[in-house]
Amino acid sequence: YGQVAAEHGFIIGQVLVTLGDIEERRSFLNIRNTIQRLFEHGVMPVVNENDTVTTQEIRVGDNDRLAAKVAHMIQADHLIILTSVDGLYDRDPSEPGAQFIETIDDVSTYLAVTDSTSALGSGGMLTKMHAANMAQDAGCETLIARGIIERPISSILAKERRHTRCVAKGTPASSWAVWLTNRLQMAGSLVLKQERIDAMLAGDLGVDRADIVSIHGDFQKGDVLHIYNEADEECARGLTNFSSNETLLLARHLDQPISELLGYQGGTRVISPENLVMLQNHHLPWDVPTEQVTLVAS
Protein backbone atom coordinates (compact mmCIF):
# COMPACT_ATOMS: atom_id res chain seq x y z
CA TYR A 1 0.00 0.00 0.00
CA GLY A 2 2.77 2.42 0.91
CA GLN A 3 4.63 1.86 -2.36
CA VAL A 4 1.53 2.36 -4.52
CA ALA A 5 0.54 5.47 -2.55
CA ALA A 6 4.04 6.94 -2.99
CA GLU A 7 3.79 6.45 -6.75
CA HIS A 8 0.68 8.65 -6.72
CA GLY A 9 2.07 11.30 -4.41
CA PHE A 10 0.37 10.60 -1.09
CA ILE A 11 1.04 8.61 2.07
CA ILE A 12 -0.99 6.06 3.99
CA GLY A 13 -1.30 5.07 7.64
CA GLN A 14 -2.52 1.66 8.74
CA VAL A 15 -5.19 1.56 11.47
CA LEU A 16 -5.70 -1.83 13.13
CA VAL A 17 -8.92 -2.33 15.09
CA THR A 18 -10.70 -5.13 16.94
CA LEU A 19 -14.36 -5.92 17.50
CA GLY A 20 -14.02 -4.68 21.07
CA ASP A 21 -12.58 -1.37 19.87
CA ILE A 22 -15.66 -0.76 17.73
CA GLU A 23 -18.31 -1.98 20.19
CA GLU A 24 -16.92 -0.06 23.20
CA ARG A 25 -17.94 3.60 23.03
CA ARG A 26 -14.71 5.20 24.29
CA SER A 27 -12.52 3.15 21.95
CA PHE A 28 -14.89 3.90 19.07
CA LEU A 29 -14.42 7.63 19.66
CA ASN A 30 -10.64 7.25 19.98
CA ILE A 31 -10.48 5.51 16.60
CA ARG A 32 -12.63 8.24 15.07
CA ASN A 33 -10.32 10.94 16.45
CA THR A 34 -7.25 9.12 15.13
CA ILE A 35 -8.71 8.83 11.62
CA GLN A 36 -9.75 12.49 11.64
CA ARG A 37 -6.23 13.51 12.70
CA LEU A 38 -4.75 11.46 9.84
CA PHE A 39 -7.03 13.26 7.39
CA GLU A 40 -5.96 16.62 8.82
CA HIS A 41 -2.32 15.73 8.07
CA GLY A 42 -3.03 14.52 4.55
CA VAL A 43 -2.64 10.84 5.38
CA MET A 44 -5.01 8.23 3.93
CA PRO A 45 -5.97 5.69 6.61
CA VAL A 46 -6.09 2.01 5.63
CA VAL A 47 -8.28 0.23 8.18
CA ASN A 48 -8.01 -3.50 8.85
CA GLU A 49 -9.08 -5.86 11.60
CA ASN A 50 -6.22 -6.74 13.95
CA ASP A 51 -6.21 -10.50 13.36
CA THR A 52 -3.18 -11.06 15.60
CA VAL A 53 -5.19 -10.41 18.78
CA THR A 54 -8.62 -11.73 17.81
CA THR A 55 -10.22 -15.16 17.79
CA GLN A 56 -13.10 -16.55 15.76
CA GLU A 57 -15.51 -15.76 18.59
CA ILE A 58 -14.49 -12.12 19.04
CA ARG A 59 -13.86 -10.77 15.56
CA VAL A 60 -15.72 -8.69 13.02
CA GLY A 61 -15.00 -11.31 10.37
CA ASP A 62 -15.76 -9.33 7.23
CA ASN A 63 -14.58 -6.04 5.77
CA ASP A 64 -18.06 -5.02 4.62
CA ARG A 65 -19.49 -4.36 8.08
CA LEU A 66 -16.14 -3.02 9.29
CA ALA A 67 -16.27 -0.48 6.46
CA ALA A 68 -19.81 0.48 7.43
CA LYS A 69 -18.71 1.16 11.01
CA VAL A 70 -15.84 3.33 9.75
CA ALA A 71 -18.26 5.20 7.47
CA HIS A 72 -20.40 5.89 10.54
CA MET A 73 -17.34 6.98 12.54
CA ILE A 74 -16.26 9.64 10.07
CA GLN A 75 -19.81 10.59 8.97
CA ALA A 76 -19.07 9.67 5.37
CA ASP A 77 -21.44 10.60 2.55
CA HIS A 78 -20.75 7.39 0.61
CA LEU A 79 -19.72 3.84 1.41
CA ILE A 80 -18.37 2.14 -1.73
CA ILE A 81 -18.14 -1.66 -1.70
CA LEU A 82 -16.20 -3.16 -4.61
CA THR A 83 -16.84 -6.79 -5.47
CA SER A 84 -16.73 -9.30 -8.36
CA VAL A 85 -20.12 -8.40 -9.85
CA ASP A 86 -21.82 -5.19 -11.00
CA GLY A 87 -24.06 -5.05 -7.92
CA LEU A 88 -27.10 -6.85 -6.53
CA TYR A 89 -29.34 -9.10 -8.61
CA ASP A 90 -32.73 -10.54 -7.65
CA ARG A 91 -31.14 -14.01 -7.82
CA ASP A 92 -27.78 -15.60 -8.64
CA PRO A 93 -26.53 -13.51 -11.61
CA SER A 94 -25.51 -16.72 -13.41
CA GLU A 95 -29.15 -17.83 -13.56
CA PRO A 96 -31.19 -17.04 -16.72
CA GLY A 97 -33.47 -14.06 -16.29
CA ALA A 98 -31.59 -12.58 -13.32
CA GLN A 99 -32.59 -8.93 -12.96
CA PHE A 100 -30.15 -6.23 -11.89
CA ILE A 101 -31.28 -4.02 -9.00
CA GLU A 102 -30.27 -0.40 -9.40
CA THR A 103 -31.76 1.17 -6.26
CA ILE A 104 -32.57 -0.23 -2.83
CA ASP A 105 -34.71 1.64 -0.31
CA ASP A 106 -35.34 -1.25 2.11
CA VAL A 107 -32.45 -3.70 2.47
CA SER A 108 -34.59 -6.23 4.37
CA THR A 109 -36.62 -7.02 1.24
CA TYR A 110 -33.52 -8.41 -0.48
CA LEU A 111 -31.95 -10.50 2.29
CA ALA A 112 -33.55 -13.73 1.05
CA VAL A 113 -31.65 -13.55 -2.25
CA THR A 114 -28.22 -12.94 -0.68
CA ASP A 115 -27.51 -16.22 1.14
CA SER A 116 -24.88 -17.43 -1.33
CA THR A 117 -21.26 -16.87 -0.25
CA SER A 118 -19.63 -17.77 -3.61
CA ALA A 119 -16.76 -15.47 -4.54
CA LEU A 120 -18.21 -12.28 -3.07
CA GLY A 121 -16.07 -12.21 0.06
CA SER A 122 -16.15 -13.88 3.47
CA GLY A 123 -19.87 -13.23 3.87
CA GLY A 124 -20.96 -12.94 0.25
CA MET A 125 -23.63 -10.42 -0.72
CA LEU A 126 -25.43 -10.92 2.61
CA THR A 127 -22.78 -9.06 4.61
CA LYS A 128 -22.81 -6.33 1.98
CA MET A 129 -26.54 -5.89 2.56
CA HIS A 130 -26.01 -5.78 6.33
CA ALA A 131 -23.26 -3.20 5.82
CA ALA A 132 -25.54 -1.15 3.56
CA ASN A 133 -28.26 -1.20 6.23
CA MET A 134 -25.82 0.00 8.88
CA ALA A 135 -24.66 2.79 6.57
CA GLN A 136 -28.27 3.73 5.75
CA ASP A 137 -29.01 4.18 9.44
CA ALA A 138 -25.98 6.47 9.72
CA GLY A 139 -27.19 8.67 6.85
CA CYS A 140 -24.61 7.26 4.43
CA GLU A 141 -25.37 6.09 0.89
CA THR A 142 -23.89 2.72 -0.14
CA LEU A 143 -22.74 1.98 -3.69
CA ILE A 144 -21.96 -1.63 -4.67
CA ALA A 145 -20.10 -2.30 -7.93
CA ARG A 146 -17.46 -4.35 -9.73
CA GLY A 147 -13.95 -3.60 -8.50
CA ILE A 148 -11.62 -4.99 -11.18
CA ILE A 149 -11.95 -2.11 -13.61
CA GLU A 150 -10.16 1.10 -14.52
CA ARG A 151 -11.04 4.00 -12.20
CA PRO A 152 -13.27 1.81 -10.00
CA ILE A 153 -14.28 4.56 -7.57
CA SER A 154 -14.43 7.80 -9.55
CA SER A 155 -16.39 6.12 -12.36
CA ILE A 156 -19.08 5.13 -9.83
CA LEU A 157 -19.31 8.59 -8.28
CA ALA A 158 -19.56 10.08 -11.78
CA LYS A 159 -22.37 7.58 -12.56
CA GLU A 160 -20.48 6.35 -15.61
CA ARG A 161 -21.20 2.66 -15.04
CA ARG A 162 -23.74 0.32 -13.53
CA HIS A 163 -23.91 -0.16 -9.77
CA THR A 164 -26.43 -0.78 -7.00
CA ARG A 165 -27.31 2.24 -4.88
CA CYS A 166 -28.62 1.77 -1.32
CA VAL A 167 -30.39 4.97 -0.33
CA ALA A 168 -29.54 6.61 2.99
CA LYS A 169 -32.35 7.01 5.53
CA GLY A 170 -32.13 10.77 5.86
CA THR A 171 -30.28 12.42 8.74
CA PRO A 172 -29.83 10.14 11.79
CA ALA A 173 -31.10 11.32 15.17
CA SER A 174 -27.56 11.43 16.58
CA SER A 175 -24.20 9.68 16.35
CA TRP A 176 -24.95 8.23 19.79
CA ALA A 177 -28.21 6.69 18.59
CA VAL A 178 -26.52 5.21 15.53
CA TRP A 179 -23.78 3.68 17.68
CA LEU A 180 -26.35 2.18 20.05
CA THR A 181 -28.44 0.58 17.32
CA ASN A 182 -25.74 -0.66 14.93
CA ARG A 183 -24.14 -3.66 16.59
CA LEU A 184 -21.70 -6.25 15.25
CA GLN A 185 -22.11 -8.62 18.19
CA MET A 186 -24.81 -9.17 20.81
CA ALA A 187 -23.48 -8.76 24.37
CA GLY A 188 -26.79 -9.74 25.93
CA SER A 189 -30.52 -9.11 25.82
CA LEU A 190 -33.67 -8.64 27.88
CA VAL A 191 -37.25 -9.72 27.30
CA LEU A 192 -39.65 -7.14 28.74
CA LYS A 193 -43.32 -7.19 29.67
CA GLN A 194 -45.59 -5.99 26.89
CA GLU A 195 -46.94 -3.06 28.91
CA ARG A 196 -43.41 -1.68 29.23
CA ILE A 197 -42.79 -2.10 25.50
CA ASP A 198 -46.05 -0.28 24.77
CA ALA A 199 -45.02 2.57 27.07
CA MET A 200 -41.63 2.82 25.36
CA LEU A 201 -43.28 2.95 21.94
CA ALA A 202 -45.39 5.83 23.28
CA GLY A 203 -42.23 7.72 24.29
CA ASP A 204 -41.78 6.64 27.91
CA LEU A 205 -38.25 5.25 27.59
CA GLY A 206 -36.18 3.38 30.16
CA VAL A 207 -36.20 -0.08 31.73
CA ASP A 208 -36.88 -0.84 35.41
CA ARG A 209 -36.09 -4.16 37.07
CA ALA A 210 -39.80 -4.93 37.48
CA ASP A 211 -40.22 -4.79 33.68
CA ILE A 212 -37.96 -7.79 33.00
CA VAL A 213 -39.31 -11.21 32.02
CA SER A 214 -36.01 -12.94 31.21
CA ILE A 215 -32.30 -12.26 30.78
CA HIS A 216 -30.06 -13.59 28.00
CA GLY A 217 -26.26 -13.75 27.95
CA ASP A 218 -23.40 -12.84 30.27
CA PHE A 219 -23.05 -9.07 29.96
CA GLN A 220 -21.25 -6.34 31.88
CA LYS A 221 -22.16 -2.83 32.95
CA GLY A 222 -21.88 -0.53 29.93
CA ASP A 223 -22.72 -3.21 27.35
CA VAL A 224 -25.44 -2.57 24.78
CA LEU A 225 -28.42 -4.90 25.25
CA HIS A 226 -31.02 -5.94 22.68
CA ILE A 227 -34.57 -5.47 23.97
CA TYR A 228 -37.39 -7.87 22.98
CA ASN A 229 -41.09 -8.15 23.72
CA GLU A 230 -42.71 -11.39 24.87
CA ALA A 231 -43.40 -12.33 21.23
CA ASP A 232 -39.62 -12.44 20.62
CA GLU A 233 -39.68 -9.28 18.48
CA GLU A 234 -36.74 -6.92 18.91
CA CYS A 235 -37.94 -3.43 19.78
CA ALA A 236 -35.01 -1.42 21.15
CA ARG A 237 -31.36 -1.36 22.16
CA GLY A 238 -29.87 0.29 25.22
CA LEU A 239 -26.82 0.68 27.44
CA THR A 240 -27.13 -1.28 30.68
CA ASN A 241 -26.28 0.15 34.09
CA PHE A 242 -25.73 -3.31 35.63
CA SER A 243 -24.11 -6.63 34.80
CA SER A 244 -26.23 -9.70 34.01
CA ASN A 245 -25.68 -11.12 37.51
CA GLU A 246 -26.64 -7.83 39.13
CA THR A 247 -29.68 -7.44 36.88
CA LEU A 248 -30.88 -10.93 37.75
CA LEU A 249 -30.46 -10.24 41.45
CA LEU A 250 -32.39 -6.98 41.21
CA ALA A 251 -35.21 -8.48 39.14
CA ARG A 252 -35.70 -11.43 41.50
CA HIS A 253 -35.87 -9.30 44.66
CA LEU A 254 -38.09 -6.37 43.80
CA ASP A 255 -38.96 -5.68 47.42
CA GLN A 256 -35.35 -5.07 48.49
CA PRO A 257 -33.46 -1.79 47.99
CA ILE A 258 -30.75 -1.82 45.33
CA SER A 259 -28.10 -0.69 47.83
CA GLU A 260 -28.78 -3.69 50.07
CA LEU A 261 -28.70 -6.19 47.19
CA LEU A 262 -25.56 -4.87 45.50
CA GLY A 263 -23.67 -3.36 48.41
CA TYR A 264 -23.52 0.05 46.75
CA GLN A 265 -25.99 2.74 45.73
CA GLY A 266 -26.54 2.34 41.99
CA GLY A 267 -29.04 3.91 39.65
CA THR A 268 -32.70 3.01 39.94
CA ARG A 269 -33.07 1.85 36.33
CA VAL A 270 -31.46 -1.04 34.47
CA ILE A 271 -31.40 1.12 31.33
CA SER A 272 -31.74 4.90 31.60
CA PRO A 273 -34.07 6.76 29.16
CA GLU A 274 -31.20 8.69 27.56
CA ASN A 275 -29.36 5.43 26.85
CA LEU A 276 -32.19 3.62 25.04
CA VAL A 277 -33.18 3.87 21.37
CA MET A 278 -36.29 2.34 19.80
CA LEU A 279 -35.67 0.47 16.55
CA GLN A 280 -37.26 1.83 13.40
CA ASN A 281 -38.66 -0.20 10.52
CA HIS A 282 -35.45 0.24 8.54
CA HIS A 283 -33.30 -1.41 11.23
CA LEU A 284 -32.52 -5.09 10.73
CA PRO A 285 -33.62 -6.88 13.93
CA TRP A 286 -31.69 -9.75 15.55
CA ASP A 287 -33.31 -13.05 16.45
CA VAL A 288 -33.79 -13.56 20.18
CA PRO A 289 -31.00 -15.78 21.60
CA THR A 290 -31.94 -19.38 22.34
CA GLU A 291 -29.06 -20.15 24.71
CA GLN A 292 -27.93 -18.79 28.10
CA VAL A 293 -31.48 -17.80 29.06
CA THR A 294 -32.13 -16.92 32.70
CA LEU A 295 -35.74 -16.55 33.81
CA VAL A 296 -36.41 -13.88 36.40
CA ALA A 297 -38.89 -16.09 38.23
CA SER A 298 -36.94 -18.52 40.43
Look at residue 56 in the predicted model and tell me its pLDDT. 55
User: Hey, what domains does the chain have and what are their CATH numbers?
Assistant: 1-59 (no CATH), 75-175 (3.40.1160.10), 186-295 (2.30.130.10)
Of 60 and 219, more confident: 219
Look at residue 117 in the predicted model and tell me its pLDDT. 41
Nearest to 251 by CA among 200, 208, 187: 208
Confidence check: pLDDT of 120 > 50:
no
Task: Name which of 1-10, 108-117, 147-156, 255-264 the model is least confident about.
Answer: 108-117
Tens of pLDDT along 144-166?
A: 999 999 999 999 999 999 999 99
> Residue 254: pLDDT band by 50, 70, 90 thresholds?
very high
H or E element at residue 74: none
The pTM (predicted TM-score) of the whole model is: 0.84
The residue type at 296: V
> Residue 292: pLDDT band by 50, 70, 90 thresholds?
low
Look at residue 54 in the predicted model and tell me its pLDDT. 63
Across 3-16, average pLDDT: 93
**DSSP 3-state assignment of 293?**
strand
Tens of pLDDT along 46-99?
A: 999 988 776 555 567 688 999 999 999 999 999 999 999 899 988 777 888 889
Nearest to 31 by CA among 43, 42, 16, 41: 16
Of 9 and 94, more confident: 9
* 3-class SS string, the chain: CHHHHHHCCCEEEEEEECHHHHHCHHHHHHHHHHHHHHHHCCEEEEEEECHHHCCHHHCCCCHHHHHHHHHHHCCCCEEEEEECCCCEECCCCCCCCCCEECEECCHHHHHHHCCCCCCCCCCHHHHHHHHHHHHHHCCCEEEEEECCCCCCCHHHHCCCCCCEEECCCCCCCCHHHHHHHCCCCCCEEEEECHHHHHHHHCCCCCECHHHEEEEECCCCCCCEEEEECCCCCEEEEEEECCCHHHHHHHHHCCCCCHHHHHCCCCCCCCEEEEEEEECCCCCCCCCCCCCCEEECCC
